[in-house]
Amino acid sequence: MISKYLQPRFGRTCMRDLTRLPLQQYFSGMAGQVSYPTISKIRDVLSSILRSAVHVEYLNKNPMQGLQLPRDKRPRRPKPTITPEQFNNLVQLLSEPYATMIFVAVWTGLRVSELIGLKWRCLHADSITIEERYCRGDWSQPKTEASAATIGVDPEVIARLLRLTTLTVEVRAGRAVRKHKLVKAGGPDDLVFQSVQDGHPMNDQNILKRHLQPAARKLGLPFVNWRCLRTSHATWLVQAGADPKSVQGQMRHSRISTTMDIYAQIVPTSQRRALQQLSAFANGGTVAAALETAAMDLDFSATDQKDAGCDPRSNSRSKTFQIN
């Protein structure tokens, strides 16, 4: 971002000349020439640089504050998710410890940086505490204040994590085969997910490119990434009947609007039934047909609730999705 976009334009500009007007003109001129996600990233990078300048008193205030980006004209598309069946197939296709990483990611909604930075002291009997995150060499606090929290998890998630301490994997090294413990150190301050060979923190992109995406492509799911797994967790909560406030707490969204975006892309069962009643009324030409459809809806309401809460760990629709 710096070498391609910022340095050619501002490389010879004095910092005192970086006022609101030239910055606004710069970003407004990108409309139609640079994609909106790229514009947003450029804004974030430049704003971070100028915040540092304010911190060391090179500037009195950040001129990026209040700057308006060009309007995003991209069509709003639903965020991709996977179904419980697809999730099961994906976990079965992956080797350890990556299968457990995906299992925990979907069942907790943790961001990948939080997953990689997870330590043994953060695990409890039926909950996980998010204290910090790790991303490509950098340790930092969670994304927002709301992200630093304790969330409820199914005890099976904790059991699967503890199971890692007993596992050993084989890795080929030329003609030789070496065995590595998945957990080389299990103290309170040690990482839950450790690199297979040396026990160092993992790299999210390596896992994505070498393990997660190849397995997903075999299943015909080329869109799967870390964000997709987190969104799937929230979507399943919604489909299981969780209220927006509970979903916001479990996902640790700082704004309820982020949670409602997930609700907006799911067509409620009641809405589908309303359309069925309308179709029955229009096709049958009588109010009785619509009332008969509504009566059938009441009979199947309990069954639908169970269907929405199917347990992907067993592929059974007889269990109820538990929200801790």
d(CA 168, CA 196): 9
Whether 308 has a pLDDT exceeding 50, the answer reads no
Q: Is 50 exceeded by the pLDDT of residue 302?
A: no
Q: Please report which residue ranges of the chain form alpha helices under DSSP H.
A: 7-10, 20-28, 36-55, 84-93, 98-108, 112-116, 155-163, 204-207, 213-218, 226-239, 244-251, 256-264, 269-284, 287-308
- What the block records as the tokens of 255 is 């704004």
**pLDDT value, residue 270:** 63
- Please, what's the largest Cα pairwise distance for the chain? 77
pLDDT-derived band at 129 (thresholds 50, 70, 90) equals very high
Give the range among 62-66, 128-132, 187-191, 310-314 with minimum mean pLDDT. 310-314
Task: Dump pLDDT digits (tens) for 146-189.
Answer: 889 999 999 999 999 999 999 998 888 788 888 899 999 989 99
pLDDT in tens, 13-72: 888 888 889 899 998 988 888 888 888 889 888 988 898 989 998 888 999 888 888 887
Q: Which residues contact 70 (CB under 8 A, 6 or more apart)?
A: 27, 28, 30, 31, 36, 39
**pLDDT at residue 4 above 90?**
no
Instruction: With H, G, I as helix, E, B as strand and everything else as coil, classify residue 199.
Output: coil
pLDDT exceeds 50 at position 87: yes
Using 50, 70 and 90 to split pLDDT, how confident is the model at 314?
Answer: very low
Q: Which pLDDT tens digit goes with each residue over 252-300?
A: 988 888 788 776 677 666 666 777 777 777 776 555 554 555 555 545 4
pLDDT-derived band at 118 (thresholds 50, 70, 90) equals very high
The fold of 84-261 is hpI Integrase; Chain A (1.10.443)
Query: Can you tell me the mean pLDDT for 129-136?
Result: 90
pTM confidence score: 0.69
pLDDT value of residue 116: 95
Section 226-246 average pLDDT? 90
Domain ranges, ordered by start, for the chain? 2-55, 84-261
Quickly state the pLDDT bin for 303 (edges 50, 70, 90). very low
Average pLDDT over residues 141-149: 87
